[in-house]
Amino acid sequence: MNIVIIASALLCAALGAALFVVIQRMAAAGRNLPPTAEWIDELSVERYRPMMRLLDGADLEFLRTQPGFTPQVAAKLRIQRCQIFRGYLKCLSSDFSRICSAIRIFMLQSGHDRPDLAAALVRHQILFAAGLLAVNCHLVFYRFGISGVDVTNLLKMFDAMRLELRILAPSAVPMGA
């Protein structure tokens, strides 16, 4: 019984530490913020769509039917795809952080208090960090052929914050900036 409690406490502490690290990285990524109209217009969830297919099992299934296929080929392909996927995740996290930072700047410069937006911003940041943690855990499992990885929720949160920024931006950013 004591072992279960100790193991649970250690797991909770590890997850808490990982969540803290993810939030700190997201905060650091938002420091080089260029809140210009051009930058906001360039933001698109479409640039992250390849992530949804990158770890799809269809390619591996096709390769299994080809002559010369070995488990080592599958392992090497999974390793390469995980590296590419982590690059996408890093960019997605950085863009999300920059969006959140821009929203905070617009909220500070606004003449109206928006406690609803502030609460939504904090909630989305926590959910995004937890989603990143979950995706990274699934990525480890994918690496060993155990599980798939779904980034749909992360992309939805990114897109929701991107749309909120676009709503705020016309009144806060001059279009010629």
Residue ranges in the chain whose pLDDT is less than 50 = 30, 34, 172-177
Q: What's the pTM value of the predicted model, to 2 decimals?
A: 0.72
Please tell me the predicted confidence (pLDDT) of residue 22. 66
Please tell me the predicted confidence (pLDDT) of residue 45. 87
Measured distance CA(32)–CA(97) in Å, rounded: 10
166 contacts 37 by C-beta, under 8 angstroms: no
Q: How many CB atoms lie under 10 A from the CB of residue 16?
A: 10
Please tell me the predicted confidence (pLDDT) of residue 159. 92
Please tell me the predicted confidence (pLDDT) of residue 64. 84
Please tell me the predicted confidence (pLDDT) of residue 87. 94
Please tell me the predicted confidence (pLDDT) of residue 139. 92
Measured distance CA(158)–CA(92) in Å, rounded: 8
Domain ranges of the chain: 2-172
Please tell me the predicted confidence (pLDDT) of residue 19. 67
